[in-house]
Amino acid sequence: MKKRRGRTVAERMAASLRREEAEATGKPLYASYTDVPPGLYSKTACMKLKCPAAEDEAPAAYVLNRNWLGYMPLYDRREKGGQQG
C-alpha cells in the first residue's frame, strides 16, 4: 500500500484559523507571505532556523495560506533590543 503524502483537508482546516478566528486574536493579519515583514516565520521556518516555536508560544501574527485553507500562525524571531535610540 502506498503511503499518503501530505495532510487531508480536515487536518489542514484544523491546523489553521478561519478569518473570524484570526481577527478575534487582535494580531496582525497578512494576505500573503510577500506582505509579511522580516523576522516573522511559520512554525516550520522556525524549526529550520533552529529556533523552534514553543508549544505554549503565542503567535505574533497570522498569514493567509490557501493551501492550508485558512490563516497560519507566524512567530516573532526578530532580534530583541535592536538599536538604542
Look up residue 30 and give its three cell numbers: 497578512
If pLDDT is split at 50, 70 and 90, which confidence band does 32 have?
very high
Structure pTM?
0.78
Cβ neighbours around 63 below 10 Å, total: 22
- pLDDT of 44-83, one tens digit each? 999 999 999 999 999 999 999 888 788 999 999 987 644 4
Look up residue 31 and give its three cell numbers: 494576505
Mean pLDDT of 11-38: 89
If pLDDT is split at 50, 70 and 90, which confidence band does 41 have?
very high
